[in-house]
């Protein structure tokens, strides 16, 4: 794993909810999704209900984008999504948050997985405390320079 790939994965450790955009028949549509796992092989896993519009969109067009943000960092990913029926993986990833949406548990026939094979990722990180970020903002306004931020583009 390259340093930039590791940086992206490290940033995402603190970003569990992302906005997944699908590109189905009605055009782009974004929904919040709880990321369950980030694989070093550039795979993201999500638990979802099978009878949703975003699952139908993925089945029609697997291209997706997923964006995550935290207080001082942002990640944007593009990849191919697939609906995966893997009971063992579903049980492995199952948690109480998923149960809030699918109270029947991992055995619920409506419970399924979405796997996103990431093709490209981009991150922006303005490291430091809130005070450091504010100082960087003030410096940019005074000098006319851009904010001090770490930016990288990653491909698996």
Per-residue pLDDT reduced to its tens digit, 61-80: 999 999 999 888 889 999 99
140 vs 103: CA distance, rounded Å: 49
Max distance between CA atoms of the chain, in angstroms, equals 58
Q: What pLDDT is recorded for position 123?
A: 87
Q: What pLDDT is recorded for position 127?
A: 63
pTM comes to 0.80
Element (H, E) at 76: strand 73-84
- What are the structure tokens assigned to 82, written together? 């697939």
Low-confidence ranges of the chain (pLDDT < 70): 1, 38-42, 127-154, 156
Q: CA-based angle 43:48:49, to the nearest 5?
A: 150
Topology annotation, domain 3-154: Pnp Oxidase; Chain A (2.30.110)
Q: What pLDDT is recorded for position 129?
A: 42
Extents of the domains making up the chain? 3-154
3-state secondary structure of 129: coil
Residue located via tokens 């490291």: 127
Of 148, 129, 153, which is closest to residue 138 (Cα–Cα)?
A: 148
Q: What pLDDT is recorded for position 133?
A: 43
Q: What pLDDT is recorded for position 142?
A: 52
100 vs 86: CA distance, rounded Å: 20
Q: What pLDDT is recorded for position 46?
A: 95
């Amino acid at each position: 794993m390259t340093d930039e790939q590791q940086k992206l994965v490290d940033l995402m450790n603190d970003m569990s909810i992302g906005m997944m955009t699908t590109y189905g028949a009605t055009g782009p549509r974004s929904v919040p999704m709880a990321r369950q796992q980030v694989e070093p092989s550039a795979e993201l896993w999500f638990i979802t209900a099978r009878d949703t519009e975003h699952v139908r969109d993925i089945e029609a067009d697997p291209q997706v984008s997923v964006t995550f943000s935290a207080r001082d960092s942002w990640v944007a990913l593009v990849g191919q999504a697939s609906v995966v029926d893997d009971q063992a993986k579903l049980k492995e990833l199952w948690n109480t948050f998923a149960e809030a949406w699918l109270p029947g548990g991992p055995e619920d026939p409506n419970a399924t997985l979405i796997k996103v094979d990431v093709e490209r990722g981009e991150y922006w990180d303005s490291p430091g405390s809130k005070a450091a970020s504010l100082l960087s903002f003030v410096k940019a306004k005074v000098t006319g320079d851009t904010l001090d931020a770490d930016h990288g583009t990653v491909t698996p």
